[in-house]
Amino acid sequence: MPDTSVKSPVLSRLGGAVRWDTSVGALLVVLLICSFSFVENFGNALNVSFLIGNTLPIALIALPMAMLVVSGEVDLSVASTAGLSSAVMGALWNAGMAIETIIPLCVLLGVVCGLVNGLLVTRLGLPSLAVTIGTLGAYRGIAQIVLGSDSVTDFPAQYLDFGAGRFGDTFLPYAVVPFVILLAIAVVVLHATRFGRSLFAVGASEEAARFAGVRVKRLKLAMFVSTGVVSALTGVFWTLHYASARYDNATGLELSVIAAVLLGGIDFDGGKGTLGGAVAGVFLLGTMQNVMSLLNVSAQSQTVATGVLLVVSVLAPRIGRRISQARARGRTAAPPPLTAPSP
Amino acid sequence: MPATTAGSRRLTLALATVTALALGATACGGTTKDDASKDSGSAAVGKADPDAKTKKGLTVAFLPKQVNNPYFTTADKGGEKALRELGSTYKEVGTSSGTDTAGQVSYVNTLTQQQVDAMAVSAQDPGALCTALKQAMRNGVSVVTYDSDTNKDCRQVFVSPASAEDLGRTQVELLAKQIGGKGEIAILSAAQTATNQNTWIDFMKKELEKPAYKDIKLVKVAYGDDDAQKSFQQTQGLLQEYPNLKGIISPTTVGIKAAAQYLSGSKYKGKVKLTGLGTPNDMRAYVKNGTVEEFELWEPAKLGALAAHAAVALESGQITGRKGETFTAGDLGTVTIGADGVVSPGEPTVFDKANIDEYDF
């Protein structure tokens, strides 16, 4: 982190107060309050459960994605991994395999997808953006080979109920439970363990982290595998939630995930951000989408609104940092460090 | 690197454990396709009262497969007109992609939330909408599907473009006439999962079994996924693969247009016959330049209008979706519900050089 060293105490206190992820959280709260008060049909339990159910796939993948981006890498193949997992699930189900076997196999598939990405990035030193654009196409292609353009819908009722149902008449879908567990794990790992601190260190400066004894490659490989596993699980959830295994499930989801993660204040260059911010970003986007639908905003305008929000979310923290840097420089520049004789 | 070997050994161990657990689960007997029991509860509940008064001031939402698709725009306009005449309100929502099933589900949920009285849905996927549509019906929303059906217990009435049997059989008749009753033919369909396409193709195959068509051989069914570029390439592929091909049936508006585009720019123009389902506006140029002689389609506006009438009749309690019930549908007259809650606006219209200019959709 090159820029934090020169900050006046006032500015850093100000910077602490208006941290981007905190403001996203606040914005989410404001949006929720406004929607509950002013948007017709928003506040009832059924709608909130729809909102959560539709946002969960993004929220699930956002957890490992946020950590991956913190470490300075990105995975664009997550939606294709989910699609592949869904296709494999459908194909194995059609072949007569038990669903209790299929789900662990899908997780295994996620491990393999993540390993391929991770090994290509860490062993061959390729940029993750390029590698995962490649596997984005490849995994989706394999998914289509596996299942064709078939759709499989006859999964056992109790699993479908888990995917789409909610606790009684409350607003909580069943599937919130695994999400909360994963969220807790992710928060502890990223913000309270050596592994998490190493991720930040690698994202801030890979070289420095390596000299400090962090096993950079292994760390990244572990993150790619985790991302693969969660993506595959999301594919399973998606299949049950929409009662349909298709090769084109979750198409384009990677963009929503990355948009939400960046909106939540995870720096695309790595080294900065919090999971709280990322989750707030996810639900801010999800709530906006839900509200816009209830207000009859057309699909096209919704896409535009999301896009604008994303650009703003990437720009705003940067501009903020630029301004604070400029101010800091203005102060330190006043007494210029002249030709101080250095030893 | 000893560390890495240890790491990979641990990984192998983990993978082995997962696999063992998975296989264990099967051994203990998990839920498979065979034991998943199917609950086929009928959607039609309550009693129909054919003399019930037609309700006014209802809100009926149309959810096409894809908004801004000219075919659905025409169909939905037909629905809008019918609703205006019935004194009810029309609205249209939907995804801009034809394969965004998650988006379509969330539109169904939104409409349920907005408490519309009825919705007419053209399903992108027969299964994916089921949970959402059942939830809509539980919340008192009448559900009609049009053009593309869901599983039959997830809606009350399905408005089928024309009877599937008519459509399948007449397309074979049209092509047989054009190729003089003999030769190799192929079918260019949309997606392999498209329920309506598959039903028509089954009827085409049945029609082809008749002795009159003994000299016609169906060599391949190709799938263009309702994507113009892919359908274009599939046409090209068919002609390369089967040099003796005499004709193509494309029962999809996107497919027939792409095939016509390819034929019209190739040496096969006029030699390889093309028919199927297309819209007059899409096909006008190809009929006039001699690429296509005759093709057919139902009138989408009638389809939308019938969906609107069915929705209002359901909401008014005149029908419940059971076989044999009848309702009046404006210009379309009295309509009787067939097996599985299916209704259709009648025979398809055949378009050729002589009449194509009379239509604009």
Q: What DSSP state is assigned to residue B277?
A: B
Structural domain spans, chain B: 59-160+300-345, 164-297
Write the residue in B7, B39, B99 that is nearest to A157 by C-beta. Answer: B39
Among A35, A49, A92, A101, the residue to mutate for chain B (most B Cβ within 10 A): A101
Q: Under a CB-based contact definition with an 8 Å cutoff, are residues B198 and B126 in contact?
A: no
* 3 state SS for B285-343: HHHHCCCCCCEEECCHHHHHHHHHHHHHHHHCCCCCCCCCCEEECHHHCEEECCHHHEE
pTM: 0.79
pLDDT for B353 beyond 60: yes
- B contacts of A291 (beta carbons < 8 Å): none
- A contacts of B223 (beta carbons < 8 Å): 149
At the top level of CATH, the class of B164-297 is alpha beta
Q: Under a CB-based contact definition with an 8 Å cutoff, are residues B120 and B144 in contact?
A: yes
Q: Kindly determine whether residue B191 and residue A149, on different chains, have CB atoms separated by under 8 Å.
A: yes
Sign, Cα dihedral of B335, B341, B346, B352: positive
Q: How far apart are CA A112 and CA A125, in angstroms?
A: 19
Q: How far apart are CA B61 and CA B112, in angstroms?
A: 10
Which residue of B lies nearest to A42 if distances are taken between CA atoms?
Answer: B113
Domains identified in chain A, total number = 1
Nearest-CA distance from B100 to chain A in Å? Answer: 8
Among B101, B115, B152, B192, the residue to mutate for chain A (most A Cβ within 10 A): B101
User: Residues B190-245: pLDDT tens digits?
Assistant: 988 777 889 999 999 999 999 999 999 999 999 998 889 999 999 999 999 999 99
First to last CA, chain B: 70
Q: Kindly determine whether residue A154 and residue B38, on different chains, have CB atoms separated by under 8 Å.
A: yes
- Rg (C-alpha) for chain A, rounded Å, is 22
Among B111, B193, B223, the residue to mutate for chain A (most A Cβ within 10 A): B193
Query: Among residues B297, B243, B288, B295, which one has the least CA distance to residue B274?
Result: B295
Within-domain flag for A95:
yes
User: Using CB atoms within 10 A of its CB, is residue A56 exposed (0-12), middle (13-18) or buried (19+)?
Assistant: buried
User: Residues A11-48: pLDDT tens digits?
Assistant: 455 554 467 888 889 999 999 999 999 998 898 898 99
User: Residues B114-161: pLDDT tens digits?
Assistant: 999 999 999 998 888 998 999 999 999 999 999 999 999 999 999 998
Q: Kindly determine whether residue B101 and residue A300, on different chains, have CB atoms separated by under 8 Å.
A: no
Q: Under a CB-based contact definition with an 8 Å cutoff, are residues B121 and B143 in contact?
A: yes
B41 confidence band (pLDDT: 50, 70, 90): very low
Sign, Cα dihedral of A201, A205, A208, A209: positive
CA A342 to chain centre: 47
Which residue of A lies nearest to B223 if distances are taken between CA atoms?
Answer: A149
Backbone angles phi, psi at B345, to 5 degrees: -80, 10
Domain that holds residue A84: 40-250
Largest CA distance in chain A: 80
Nearest-CA distance from A129 to chain B in Å? Answer: 25
Q: Strand B157-159 relative to strand B59-63: parallel, antiparallel, unpaired?
A: unpaired
CB pairs under 8 A between A and B: 140
Q: How far apart are CA B290 and CA B10, in angstroms?
A: 69
ipTM over 0.90: no
Give the list of residues 6+ apart from residue B299 with CB closer than 8 angstroms, or none. B78, B345, B349, B359, B361
Whether domain B59-160+300-345 has CATH 3.40.50.2300: yes
Q: How far apart are CA B26 and CA B20, in angstroms?
A: 10
Residue B278's CB is within 10 A of a number of other CB atoms, namely: 28
* pLDDT value of residue A340: 46
- The angle that helices A194-204 and A45-70 make with each other, rounded to 10 degrees, is 70
- B contacts of A101 (beta carbons < 8 Å): 22-23, 25-26, 30
- A contacts of B192 (beta carbons < 8 Å): 148-150
Which residue of A lies nearest to B39 if distances are taken between CA atoms?
Answer: A157
- A contacts of B37 (beta carbons < 8 Å): 157
Q: Strand B342-343 relative to strand B295-297: parallel, antiparallel, unpaired?
A: unpaired
User: Residues A162-215: pLDDT tens digits?
Assistant: 988 899 888 999 999 999 999 999 999 999 999 999 999 999 999 999 999 999
Q: Is A72 left (phi over 0), alpha (psi -120 to 50) or beta?
A: left
Q: Under a CB-based contact definition with an 8 Å cutoff, are residues A84 and A117 in contact?
A: no
Highest-confidence range of A54-68, A243-257, B89-103, by mean pLDDT? A54-68
Query: Among residues B180, B352, B173, which one has the least CA distance to residue B278?
Result: B352
User: Residues B258-297: pLDDT tens digits?
Assistant: 999 999 999 999 899 999 999 899 999 999 999 999 999 9
Which residue of B lies nearest to A90 if distances are taken between CA atoms?
Answer: B33
What is the number of alpha carbons within 13 Å of residue B315 lying toward its C-beta?
Answer: 29
* pLDDT value of residue A21: 83
Q: Kindly determine whether residue A54 and residue B110, on different chains, have CB atoms separated by under 8 Å.
A: no
